[in-house]
Structure 1
Amino acid sequence: MGEKKRIGILTSGGDCAGLNAVIRAVVHHAVGTYNWDVIGIREATQGLMSDPPRFIQFELDKLDNLLLMGGTILGTTNKGDPFAFPMNDGTVRDRSSDIINGYHSLGLDALIGIGGDGSLAILRRLAQQGGINLVGIPKTIDNDVGATEVSIGFDTATNIATEALDRLHFTAASHNRVMILEVMGRDAGHIALAAGIAGGADVILIPEIPYKIEKVCQKIRARQEKGKHFCLVMVSEAVRTEVGEQVSKLKQFGEDRLGGIGKYIAEQIGAKTGAETRVTVLGHIQRGGIPSPMDRLLGSAFGVAAVDLIAQGKFDQMVAWQNRQILSVPIAEAIQTYRTVDPEETLVKTARGLGICLGD
């Protein structure tokens, strides 16, 4: 079985469904197969930054219902760059050494970091600076990590967006309305495209394909001429206005958050077609709830594979799903490419073949 190890695991960045499935798999495989200790770090790098570090030690017989739980039992954060960390007095400070010291003070032999491209980039920089044996696992509802075909959280988010569109279909038909559903997608339109096709949208707008409002209105008018006086429009939050302006709202901590493009689209459609419009912004509902079977399976497979990489001494690697199998790629390579929707990819061609208007 080899030397007993003590490994850490943390979840970083935005939460999503499937994270607890990963944690469960890591504990089952590390403890059950290798007889290692597994330490869960609370609130990502902020848990390591604390003095003493904030953590829990997992026990194999205390993982009941973890597979079904949304979010992350460890907590997470997507605020505060550890290399320029905002302090209470308004200054910023490099706290990377605090995190590195926290890792070593816990006597960890390796760290499994679950995050998107931004989180993995930060974790890799910390690992290189502080001698941390890091293995990465990709998670993002946006599904934009380049080296993997799918990331944890995407399937559940797509399912939720599809269900929302299903529900809007009937109320749209009942009132002869144009229903606009705005979904998440920081820079990529994967959720909007996949859920739009699955939910039977008439129009799908994604940031990767420039659109004209008049093209959207033509689709609505064409349906009206056929006696179909309702329409379903799926739009990614990262879509800009027709003239290229980003729609965002100023939130706390001075951060601009995407949101509001659905309202803009609704106003434009109403003004040009006379149609009655309604907007639904799905927001963080896409992140929550019980994970889909696919996210549970993917999380379980990723967790087991990450533990095996540690056992093999393969660090600075990220597990990935490619061609229906798990493999590993260098983290630097994994975060170098950013996976947006390719306008020539299969789902785009599928949408066009189904007569869905993409606005171009």
Structure 2
Amino acid sequence: MTVEHDKLKQLALAVLDTEIEAVTALRERVNEHFLKACDFMLACSGRIVVIGMGKSGHIGGKIAATLASTGTPAFFVHPGEASHGDMGMITSKDVVLALSNSGETSEILTILPLIKRLGVPLIAMSGKPHSTLAKCASAHIDVSVEREACPLGLAPTSSTTAALVMGDALAVALLEARGFTAEDFAMSHPGGLLGRRLLLRVSDIMHTGNDVPQVEESVLISEALIEMSAKGLGMTAVTNHQAEIIGIFTDGDLRRVLAQEINIHTQPLSNYVSRNCKTGHPDMLAAEALELMQRFKINALLITDDKQQLQGAINMHDLLRAGVV
């Protein structure tokens, strides 16, 4: 069967429009019930145990993962398995977050008495405010939708999107309330790009010792060029007789000198140094150094200690190799 591309596009846009409407309707559901759920989760001394069947289970797994990675310890338990031993994973210190669009999922209703017996708060996220699950909950978050994006009205589409978005809203609200920082987030994501961007410090990648280009301001431009060529960082630190940094001389500075047809073998470097240059600290995050370099449109950064003594240098290539860019 061949379907025209225009028809496919119309169908896809209709899905997006329906789901946008469903998400927009959630704004008024961030109410006292939502806040009550947040209070239970913030007061939890154990874990947030997320349960759900079918598509709600898939959404629940993602919500649990988002909570856990943003400062709220959480894990997912399959309600069917809970009836066969996994209830032992839920303790009296936990909070249960149950997802069911109908609020009548039999596998969840079966374990409700056990959850009640533990005395743990039960947060329900469903599309039926008057369902059995909603009535048994300590707090109920309404994620009902007017219609599914599926033209048959059968496949969970808008309803799962609404639950997922509300789960994100819970996780981020809790993140802010806990004072969760970028470094805390990095500790949960030590691998891959996130870890590199958030955990790597300048001291981990900077050039040090003899690898750092450095000349005194009294040298000739040609001598500075030799030092720059030998170290290959596209610049050199410039110091006074006390080894204090007075500035930097870069490839860009050299191009400007050559454009003026200045004799680099006779002219002292001191007349062409970029003074009051930007510097970094060894303990700053590599991502912070990148932001500084991008903001001031510079390709290299001198690294100093608290006394402004030269400790090292980095350039954009170092950040690229480290995977920060």
TM over 0.5: no
Which of 1 and 2 has higher RCO (CA within 8 Å, sep 6+)? Answer: 1
| TM bin (shorter chain) | under 0.3
> Higher helix fraction: Structure 1 or Structure 2?
2
